[in-house]
Amino acid sequence: MPYVGTRSTWLLLVPHKPKPTELDGNIELFCIKEGTVRRTYVWTALLLVLALVMAACGGTSGTTETTAAPNTTAAPGTTAASGTTAAPSGEMKTLKIGFTTSITGKYNTESTRQDNGLQLWMDDVNAAGGITLSDGTVLKFEAVSYDDESNKDRVQELYTKLATDDDADFLISPYSSGLTAASAVIAEQYGKVMITTGAASDSVYTQGYTGVYQVYTPSSRYLTSSVDLLGSLDPSAKKIAFVYENSNFSTGVAEAAKAYAESNGYEVVLYEGYDPDTQDFSAFINKIEASGPDAILGGGHFQDGSAFARQLYEKKIPVKFVSLLVAPPEPSFSELGDAAVGVAGPSQWEPLVKFTEDAAMAAGADWIGLTGDEFVAEYQAAYGEEPSYHAAGGYAAGLLLQYAIQKADSTDADAIKAALDATNLMTFFGDLKFDTSPDHHGLQIGHDMVVVQWQKADGGLQKQIVWPESGATAAPLYPLGQ
Amino acid sequence: MNLDVLIASAVDGLLIGFVYGVAAMGLTLIFGVMDVINLAHGPLIAIGMFGVYEIFTYVGMNPYLALIIVAVVGLAVGVLVYFVAVHRVIDAPPLSSLLSTFSVNMMIIGVGTAILTTSAYNVDFSLPSLDTGPITVTGTRLAAALIAVGVTALLYAFLYRTRSGKYIRAVANNRQAAELMGIPSTRILALAFGIGTMLAMTAGGLIATILPINILAGGTYELKSFVIVVLGGLGNPLGALVGGLILGLIEGLVPVFMKTTWVPVLEFGLFILILLVMPQGLFGRKES
C-alpha cells in the first residue's frame, strides 16, 4: 500500500504514478485509510489558506512603496534656493495638510494618482517659497497622511486623528464619494475646512455642511454637457435613450440627465437600468433599436461601458450620438478598435484641455497656478506616466486651498471659508465656483465636464476633446456613420 | 412589442446559448464521470478567455486558431489539476473534492488578480455582421455558435467512436466494473477531467471573442453552468447543450418584456423549480 505510506503527506502535490501492477483495477485503490482522508483535509485547508494569502498579496503588492513619498515635504533646502523674496521679518509657519490615501484596497490606483497630484502641488508651492501673507508670514505646507485601506471606518478613525492628535490645519478628502462622505462628517464636526476631490456625488453637499468644498463636477451634471453638445450639433435630434448601470452613481447621473434633457424638450424613448455585471447587452440593444433613438446616453463603469459600446457597433445600431460614463476617457477603451470610433464620454479633465490665463481674464475669473501642459510635463517627469484626471484633481485641490489662503490673507478657518464662498477661479483643471445656498453649500457649480470622443487619426485611434467648444481639439464626429 | 425585436432577441439568445452549453458540458462531464463538482470551473473558463486574449494580442494569431492552442493547453491543465487536487480525494466524501477544487479556484484567482488585476480586457477582433433584413447577427456570435456545435459533435464522436471515449463512458457507468475489465481508471479519470477542462477553456475562449473579459468573469458562467447542468440533467452533455439554449433564450427574450434585472431572478427561479419538480433534469439519467 504505497498510498498511505510515509511519503503520502507530500504526495498530494505530486502526481501519483502508480506502478504498472496497480493499474489494472486494483481494489486497494479505493481503500483509503482514515488517516489519509484526515491528512487530505489538512492539506486542503493549507492550500486554501495559501490561496487566500496569495489573493491578499495580489491586491497590495507594488503599491506600498508609493506611500512614503519622502521627496515631498522634507526639502528645506529648496526654500533658500528658490529666489523668491525671502520674507524680511515675517515668521515661518508650516501648515499641515491632512488626508488619507487608499494605499491598499480597491481604490488604490485612483487614490495613489490623486495623492501624487497633491504632492506635486505641495512640492511646487514649497519650492516657490511658499505663500507670503501681507504681514510677512511665510507659509509652507506639510502633508500628514495615512493609508485608509479604501475602508470607510478607517477613514473616520483617521480623519478624527488628523483633526485632533495631528491637529491638521486643512483637510483634503480621500478618493471616492463613499469615503469622502465619511470624512466630511468628521471635518465638519471639528470645524476644519475640507477640499473634496475624487468625489462626484451630490449628497455630501445637502447635509448642511459649511466647510466642505467640492472640486469635481457633481454627478448630477455628468451627462448634461453631452445633452448640450447634442443640442448644438443637431437641433433636429430629439429622441434620447438612457441606458445606465444600476448603481448609485450611474442612476443618479441618469436621473439628473433625464430631467435636464426633458426640460430641454427632448423625448426620452427608453429609460432603463442594467445589472452591474451585465456582459451581454444584445437583448438590450434590440430593445434600443426598436425604440428608435437619435442618441444613446448612459453607461456605468469601464467594463459594462466598453461591452455596451462594442455590441452597439457590431449590431450596427443606426444612432447618431453615443455618450457613456467613465469608460470612454480611459486609454484602454481604444482596445475596442473600430467600435470605439465616435463614442463620446464626459471626463473631469484631460491632458489636452487648454484653460489659460487669458481665458480666465476674458471670463472675469481669477487665475492661479500652472498651465495644463506644464502640469503634464511636471507630472510625467515626477511619476513617469501621463496624468489622469484623478491626479489633476489632486493638484487642483491644493491649488484651490492655496488660492483661498492668498485671497483671505490669513489661515483663519472663517476667513478661508469666506474666500472659498466667493471663489471665481480658473485653473488648468477648469473653472471652480461653489454653491453658497444653505441647501447645497460647497457644491461645485463652476467646473464643467469636458466631452471626449474617440476619432480616427493617422491610422490609429485618438481621444479628442469635442466639448466645450472653447477647449475643443477636434470637431465632433457626427452623425455616427452606422 | 414588434416581432422583429422578438426574433432578433431570440436569435441572439440562442447563439450565446450554444456557448453556455459548451461551458456546462465541461462541468457535467466531470460530474458524470467522477461525481466531482468542479468549483474551479469558473477560473478555468477565465484562463481560456485570457489564453485567447494573450495569443491574439501578443502573437497576433487569429482567435479561432488560438482557440485550438487553448483547447490543447486546456487538456494538459485539466490533467494537471486532476493529479494535484482531485485524484487524492476522488473517493473521499464530496466535501473533500469541493474544498480541493475550491482551493484551485482560489489559487487561479489569486495569481490571476496579481498578474492581470481585475480590469476588463477586450479581444479587438470583429467579423462582418450578417444582415438579414430586420435582424443583424454579429459575425463573432454566429462563429462562436457554429464552433460550439462543432465541439459538441466532436465530443460525441469521441465518446461513442473512440476506445478512450468508450472507456470514459464505462468508467462513468461503473468504475469498479470497468477496472475489473482492465480499464486503467486513473488515466481515464484524468483524461475525463482534462476534457472537461478543455471544454471550459474552449467556452472561455469563445466568450472572449464576443464579450469583454476579466479574471473574475468566469464566475458568472460557472453559475450559469450550474443552472444549465441541473436543467439538462446532471452528467448528460447533450442535456447541457439543450439547457444552454434554454438559458440563452431566457436571457434573450425576458428583457423584451420586462426589465433586464429580472433575468437572474427567472433563471434561478427555474433552477429551484427544476430541483423541486424534476430533480433528474430534463434529460437526466434515471437514478436507481
Same domain, A242 and A342: yes
Alpha-carbon distance of A404 to A422, in angstroms, equals 9
- B196-229, pLDDT tens digit by residue? 999 999 999 999 998 888 888 899 899 999 999 9
What is the amino acid identity at position A202? D
| Min Cα–Cα distance to chain B from A331, Å | 12
A70-74, A406-410, B30-34: least confident range: A70-74
Average pLDDT, chain A: 82
Q: Which three cell numbers stand for residue B184?
A: 486503467
Q: Which of residues 142-181 of B touch A (CB under 8 A)?
A: 176, 178-181
Alpha-carbon distance of A105 to A85, in angstroms, equals 44
Burial class (CB in 10 A: 0-12, 13-18, 19+), B166: middle
Minimal Cβ distance to B88: which of A40, A272, A278: A40
Same domain, A179 and A232: no
Same domain, A178 and A95: yes
Alpha-carbon distance of B63 to A391, in angstroms, equals 37
Greater confidence (B286 vs A429) lies with A429
pLDDT of residue A41: 55
| Min Cα–Cα distance to chain A from B212, Å | 6
Same domain, A339 and A396: no
Confidence of residue A62 (pLDDT cuts 50, 70, 90): very low
A42-46, A272-276, B45-49, B131-135: least confident range: A42-46
How many structural domains does chain A have? Answer: 3
User: Minimal Cα distance from A57: which residue of B?
Assistant: B114
Max distance between CA atoms of chain A, in angstroms, equals 97
Q: What is the DSSP letter of A216?
A: S
b/e string for A206-237 if b means 16 or more Cβ within 10 A?
eeebebbbbbbbbbbbbbbbbbbbbeebeeeb
pLDDT of residue A224: 92
Looking at the domain assignment, is residue A481 inside a domain? no
The size of chain B, in residues, is: 288
Whether residue A460 contacts residue A344, with contact meaning beta carbons closer than 8 Å, is answered with no
CA nearest to A300, candidates A234, A335, A248: A248
Chain A / chain B CB contacts < 8 angstroms: 179
Same domain, A213 and A102: yes
Same domain, A293 and A150: no
The Cα angle at residue B35 between residues B33 and B37, in degrees rounded to 5: 115
Contact flag A25-B179 (C-beta cutoff 8 Å): yes
Looking at the domain assignment, is residue A476 inside a domain? no
Chain B residues within an 8 Å CB radius of A58: 110-111, 113-114
Helix then strand then coil, in percent of chain A rounded to 5, is 45, 20, 35
Q: From edge to edge, which strands make up the β-sheet containing A92-101?
A: A131-132, A138-147, A92-101, A170-172, A193-196, A212-214
What is the amino acid identity at position B246? I
pLDDT of residue A416: 95
Burial class (CB in 10 A: 0-12, 13-18, 19+), A164: exposed
Q: What is the DSSP letter of A318?
A: -
Alpha-carbon distance of B249 to B271, in angstroms, equals 15
Looking at the domain assignment, is residue A116 inside a domain? yes
CA nearest to A170, candidates A212, A218, A204: A212
> CA A281: distance to chain centroid?
26
Same domain, A182 and A227: no
Report, as an integer, the average pLDDT of A270-290.
86
b/e string for B241-267 if b means 16 or more Cβ within 10 A?
bbbbbbbbbbbbbbbbeeebeebbeeb
CA nearest to A323, candidates A449, A458, A460, A197: A449
User: Residue A105: which residues within 8 A CB-CB, separation 6 or more?
Assistant: A59, A148, A149, A150, A151
| Cis preceding-peptide flag for A468 (omega within 30 of 0) | yes
Alpha-carbon distance of B133 to B140, in angstroms, equals 19
Alpha-carbon distance of B38 to B109, in angstroms, equals 15
Contact flag A58-B87 (C-beta cutoff 8 Å): no
In this structure, what CATH number is given to the domain that contains residue A325?
3.40.50.2300
pLDDT of residue B111: 94
Q: Name the 3-class secondary structure at A203.
A: helix
Same domain, A98 and A202: yes
Chain B residues within an 8 Å CB radius of A45: 99
φ, ψ of residue A239 to 5 degrees: the values are: -110, 125
Confidence of residue A254 (pLDDT cuts 50, 70, 90): very high
Which of A21, A39, A60 delimits the end of a domain? A60
| Min Cα–Cα distance to chain B from A455, Å | 16
Q: At what angle are helices B237-257 and B3-34 packed, to 10 degrees?
A: 150
Three-state DSSP string of chain B: CCHHHHHHHHHHHHHHHHHHHHHHHHHHHHHHHHCCCCCCHHHHHHHHHHHHHHHHHHHCCCHHHHHHHHHHHHHHHHHHHHHHHHHHHCCCCHHHHHHHHHHHHHHHHHHHHHHHCCCCECCCCCCCCEEECCEEECHHHHHHHHHHHHHHHHHHHHHHHCHHHHHHHHHHHCHHHHHHCCCCHHHHHHHHHHHHHHHHHHHHHHHHHHCCECCCCHHHHHHHHHHHHHHHCCCCHHHHHHHHHHHHHHHHHHHHHCCCCHHHHHHHHHHHHHHHHCCCCCCCCCCC
Looking at the domain assignment, is residue A482 inside a domain? no
- B104-128, pLDDT tens digit by residue? 999 999 999 888 877 778 888 888 8
Domain B3-131+138-277 classified CATH 1.10.3470? yes
- A85-99, pLDDT tens digit by residue? 444 557 899 999 999
- B47-105, pLDDT tens digit by residue? 999 999 999 999 999 999 999 999 999 999 999 999 999 999 998 888 999 999 999 99
Q: Which of residues 221-250 of A touch B (CB under 8 A)?
A: 246
Same domain, A330 and A466: yes
User: Residue A385: which residues within 8 A CB-CB, separation 6 or more?
Assistant: A379
| Cis preceding-peptide flag for A479 (omega within 30 of 0) | yes
Q: CA dihedral in degrees (A346, A352, A356, A362; nearest 10)?
A: -50
Q: Which of residues 18-77 of B touch A (CB under 8 A)?
A: none
Question: Is residue A15's pLDDT more than 80?
Answer: no
Q: What is the DSSP letter of A19?
A: -
Q: Name the 3-class secondary structure at A343.
A: coil
Chain A residues within an 8 Å CB radius of B136: 315-316
| Min Cα–Cα distance to chain A from B152, Å | 23
Q: Which three cell numbers stand for residue B234?
A: 446532471
How many CA atoms within 13 Å lie on the side-chain side of A308?
32
Same domain, A191 and A166: yes
Q: Which domain holds residue A187?
A: 90-217+353-440
Report, as an integer, the average pLDDT of A358-387.
92
Whether residue B60 contacts residue B121, with contact meaning beta carbons closer than 8 Å, is answered with no
pLDDT of residue A448: 87
Q: Which three cell numbers stand for residue A177?
A: 464619494
A330-344, A373-387, B10-24, B126-140: least confident range: B126-140
pLDDT of residue A45: 54
> CA A227: distance to chain centroid?
22
User: Minimal Cα distance from B141: which residue of A?
Assistant: A314
Alpha-carbon distance of A337 to B123, in angstroms, equals 9
- Cell numbers 473616520 correspond to what residue? A156
The size of chain A, in residues, is: 482
- A402-448, pLDDT tens digit by residue? 999 999 999 999 999 999 999 999 999 999 999 999 999 999 999 98
How many CA atoms within 13 Å lie on the side-chain side of B265?
8
- Cell numbers 455618450 correspond to what residue? A323
What end-to-end distance do the CA atoms of chain B give, in Å? 47
Q: Which three cell numbers stand for residue A294?
A: 437619435
Q: Which three cell numbers stand for residue A400?
A: 484651490
Percent of chain B with pLDDT over 70: 98
Burial class (CB in 10 A: 0-12, 13-18, 19+), B33: buried
| Min Cα–Cα distance to chain B from A70, Å | 26
| Chain A touched by B111 (CB under 8 Å) | yes
Minimal Cβ distance to A51: which of B13, B103, B119: B103
Domain boundaries defined on chain B: 3-131+138-277
User: Residue A42: which residues within 8 A CB-CB, separation 6 or more?
Assistant: none
Beta strand pairing call for A92-101 and A295-299: unpaired
Q: Which of residues 318-377 of A touch B (CB under 8 A)?
A: 332, 335-339
What is the amino acid identity at position A1? M
pLDDT of residue A83: 39
Contact flag A55-B185 (C-beta cutoff 8 Å): no
- A174-232, pLDDT tens digit by residue? 998 889 999 999 999 999 999 999 988 888 999 999 999 999 999 999 999 999 999 99
Q: Which of residues 274-313 of A touch B (CB under 8 A)?
A: 274-275, 277-280, 282-284, 286-287, 289-290, 302-303, 306-307, 310-311, 313
Question: Is residue B39's pLDDT more than 50?
Answer: yes
Same domain, A244 and A314: yes
Alpha-carbon distance of A73 to A76, in angstroms, equals 8
Confidence of residue A391 (pLDDT cuts 50, 70, 90): very high
Q: At what angle are helices B185-210 and B163-173 packed, to 10 degrees?
A: 110
Same domain, A232 and A212: no
pLDDT of residue A4: 39
Minimal Cβ distance to A283: which of B121, B212, B251: B251
